Amino acid sequence: MFDLIVRHCSLPDGRRDTDIGVQQGRIAAVQTALPASAAQELDAQGQLVSPPFVDAHFHMDSALSYGQPRINQSGTLLEGIALWGELKPHLTQEAIAERALRYCDWAVAKGLLAIRSHVDVCDPRLLAVEALLQVREQVKPYLDLQLVAFPQDGVLRSPGALTQLKRALDMGVDVVGGIPHFERTMADGAESVRILCELAADKGLRVDMHCDESDDPLSRHIETLAYQANRLGLHGRVAGSHLTSMHSMDNYYVSKLLPLIKEAGVAAIANPLINITLQGRHDSYPKRRGMTRVPEMLAAGIDVAFGHDCVMDPWYSLGSGDMLEVAHMGLHVAQMTGQAAMRQCFDAVTTTPARILGLEGYGLDVGCHADFVLLQARDPVEAVRLRATRLAVVRRGQLIAQTPPQTASLMLPNRPSSTDWQLRMPDGHM
């Protein structure tokens, strides 16, 4: 006897007509025609059941602050930075927590059940840290929030930042952050990477740095990050976020860099929506795309995830917590239109970031947490194409969100009048 059975699922690995049985919040069976009953049954009707979406790179302390104190009229990074400066003195712990909780609601509705969020530690009051630690506890039953101590103004450049970063870790922040390209010199950048990686090694923590988020081909802090990860034995625990300078680097240098990143077990996190809007912005034509070398890193065996980075904040006025929108943009910007490559874009917002975050019990195997999303799509590529509706979101075996299927009725001359419009090829066509 199961608590829940979801029947007739398609799975991301291509299995069809599979039943998933859930017992006590865990997946207890995955097989065709499960000969059992359950307190609750759900018919997937051949649609895709995926493990939940995971966002490996986000800023929850600024999310949904759009319009406060005013709207970014130019849409540029510089006006965004100025805006954040204007807003900072007026921030309160309650307001940050309230916005974060609202964003977590959006995330759950979109089947996004794990988020790694950077939190600015350069404010000596550590208001955002307090707020997001409180939110992390509050959302724990339905969403895994992992926090990164992020010295937004530079751990060496900003007075007191290292002390505040250590305080944030002592308060319970999970991951060590950094921003080497924002330090005053290349040497300071490299030194910040050394200090922060040693701190993480001492404390047994993971590392995730904003690294080389620029168009400068000589911004090579990823090399130092990989070197330090290797030296300190941090394999599998370090991520470099953005890495946009790699887009502009010399090809010979990159051919030497990729094996170093792979050897060090360092993962990469690209943020397609933000990279394509910010990078190459000051170029004349031709304009660089600026996103890091995703297919090349994947080919070298490096884990690459896609993050959302920002949603409705001073830097980005759009976004909705939809990781399929992120995958869709990543696919286009990286020109990953091959069959296997499109699948990799789906993995970049599900299984790969789950590995980078070190999520326990993630997946659709027997023994994993019963966390999954029923999508209005038949396979991962269709899910990306349609930014498919999340028909049902399940956490620990409990239904926590539902959205009605997308349909439209057409009333057209010379066409049957009741055609359902689902933007899908007929069954059996593909």
Residues carrying an active site annotation: 213
Show the CA angle centred on residue 88, arms to residues 323 and 79, nearest 5°: 70
Please identify, using beta-carbon distances, which residue of 123 and 309 lies nearer to Fe ion.
309
* Residue nearest to Fe ion according to CB distances in the complex: 309
Q: How far is the CB of 59 from Fe ion (least distance, A)?
A: 6
User: CA 430, CA 340: separation in Å to the nearest integer?
Assistant: 16
φ, ψ (nearest 5 deg) of residue 426: -60, 150
Q: How far is the CB of 212 from Fe ion (least distance, A)?
A: 12
- Selection from 352, 400, 424, 356 nearest residue 48 by Cα: 424
User: CA 120, CA 293: separation in Å to the nearest integer?
Assistant: 27
Q: Report whether 289 contacts 248 (CB < 8 A).
A: no
Please identify, using beta-carbon distances, which residue of 242 and 390 lies nearer to Fe ion.
242
β-pair partners for 399: 394
Other beta carbons within 10 Å of 74 = 9
| CA distance readout (Å), 202 to 119, 173, 233, 342, 412 | 21, 15, 11, 39, 68
User: CA 7, CA 19: separation in Å to the nearest integer?
Assistant: 4
**What DSSP string runs through 146-162?**
EEEEE-TT-TTTSTTHH
Please identify, using beta-carbon distances, which residue of 2 and 103 lies nearer to Fe ion.
103
Q: How far is the CB of 379 from Fe ion (least distance, A)?
A: 31
User: CA 119, CA 130: separation in Å to the nearest integer?
Assistant: 10
Q: Report whether 59 contacts 116 (CB < 8 A).
A: no
Please identify, using beta-carbon distances, which residue of 309 and 313 lies nearer to Fe ion.
309
Q: How far is the CB of 271 from Fe ion (least distance, A)?
A: 7
**What DSSP string runs through 377-389?**
SSSHHHHHHHT--
Please identify, using beta-carbon distances, which residue of 18 and 192 lies nearer to Fe ion.
192
**Which residues in this chain contact Fe ion in the complex, by CB under 5 A?**
309
What DSSP character marks residue 69?
Answer: S
**What DSSP string runs through 244-262?**
GGGGGS-HHHHHHHHHHHH
Please identify, using beta-carbon distances, which residue of 303 and 309 lies nearer to Fe ion.
309
**Residue 205: CB partners within 8 Å, gap ≥ 6?**
169, 174, 175, 176, 199, 237
Q: How far is the CB of 179 from Fe ion (least distance, A)?
A: 9
Please identify, using beta-carbon distances, which residue of 3 and 309 lies nearer to Fe ion.
309
Q: How far is the CB of 57 from Fe ion (least distance, A)?
A: 6
Q: How far is the CB of 315 from Fe ion (least distance, A)?
A: 9
Other beta carbons within 10 Å of 181 = 23
Please identify, using beta-carbon distances, which residue of 3 and 55 lies nearer to Fe ion.
55
| CA distance readout (Å), 167 to 96, 153, 185, 317 | 19, 16, 26, 32
Q: How far is the CB of 125 from Fe ion (least distance, A)?
A: 21
SS3 label, residue 187 = helix
